[in-house]
């Protein structure tokens, strides 16, 4: 199973939010580029990046930092946050990212998602960010009033190459992921699923490995707070 250490960028810094709340964030001293280098030096192969400024504004705000990470780290990178047009998708692919994550735009405009999958085969990942069973958009500030599972059933045949499921109520809380809901998503998804939100220990990683149709897991706050040591985590990476 793939391990995706996380880097969330806000105001050019590494930050972690609690339940996606921008007013409840922790900033970390190490720069995003330095943090990516640390992951590479420990032997990780994959990296999950979110441009939080982009998620709020709908623009690709931190392109310079992300391009720097890509050029220096040589990691397999999935990137999300503020990607709301084909030009932005193309730009990231040209930079060399492995997957471009579509969230808000894909929920609000299913046809955009469909066309993106056709235009960029095997490059589009879909973010399903759920709170109490419904999808959230626009930096998790808006409730779309769409059921997670109903939406997935509608877009399941579009050609998405990876699905990232986040339980917002668990994100940044270190209470373990919502394995029950993730399993429901993975059971009906036509593409492999990445678990996100709430990872607190190596035990969570081991449990994720027992689930069907799970490609990997994203680990964020538990790394930054020292609950999970990189030396232990990298042993679970495959």
| pLDDT (tens digit per residue) in 62-74 | 999 999 999 999 8
* CA gap 45, 14 in Å, rounded: 19
Question: How are the residues of the chain apportioned to helix, strand and coil, as percentages rounded to the nearest 5?
Answer: 35, 30, 30
136 band by pLDDT with thresholds 50, 70 and 90: confident
Asked whether the beta carbons of 9 and 52 are under 8 A apart, the reply is yes
Is the pTM of the predicted complex or chain greater than 0.85?
A: yes
Its domain, for residue 113, covers 2-236
Total number of domains in the chain: 1
Q: Which pLDDT value is given to residue 138?
A: 67
pLDDT at 181 over 90: yes
Higher pLDDT residue, 99 or 57?
99
Q: Is 4 exposed, middle or buried (0-12, 13-18, 19+ CB in 10 A)?
A: buried
3-state secondary structure of 48: strand
Q: For residue 164, what is the domain's CATH number?
A: 3.20.20.70
Average pLDDT score over the chain: 94
pLDDT at 142 over 80: no
Bridge pairing between strands 21-28 and 46-51: unpaired
Active-site annotation, residues: 8, 129
Higher pLDDT residue, 153 or 18?
153
Q: For residue 6, which of 75, 64, 94, 106 has the smallest C-alpha distance? A: 75
Bridge pairing between strands 162-167 and 124-131: parallel
């Amino acid at each position: 199973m793939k391990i995706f250490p996380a880097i969330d960028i806000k105001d050019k810094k590494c930050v972690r939010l609690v339940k996606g709340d921008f007013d409840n964030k922790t900033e970390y001293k190490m720069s995003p580029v330095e943090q990516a280098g640390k992951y590479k030096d420990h032997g990780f192969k994959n990296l999950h990046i979110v441009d939080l400024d982009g998620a709020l504004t709908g623009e690709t705000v931190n392109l310079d930092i992300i391009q720097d990470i890509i050029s220096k780290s040589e990691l397999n990178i999935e990137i999300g946050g503020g990607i709301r047009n084909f030009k932005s998708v193309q730009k990231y692919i040209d930079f060399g990212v492995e997957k471009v994550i579509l969230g808000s735009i894909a929920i609000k405009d299913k046809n955009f998602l469909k066309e993106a999958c056709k235009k960029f085969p095997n490059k589009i990942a879909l973010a399903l960010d759920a709170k109490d069973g419904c999808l959230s958009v626009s930096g998790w500030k808006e409730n779309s009033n769409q059921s997670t599972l109903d939406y997935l059933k509608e877009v399941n045949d579009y050609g998405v190459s990876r699905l990232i499921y986040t339980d917002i109520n668990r994100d940044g809380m270190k209470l373990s992921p919502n394995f029950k809901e993730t399993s429901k998503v993975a059971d009906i998804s036509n593409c492999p699923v990445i678990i996100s939100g709430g990872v607190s220990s190596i035990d969570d990683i081991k449990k994720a490995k027992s689930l069907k149709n799970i490609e990997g897991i994203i680990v964020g706050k538990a790394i930054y707070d020292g609950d999970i040591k990189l030396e232990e985590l990298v042993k679970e990476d495959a």
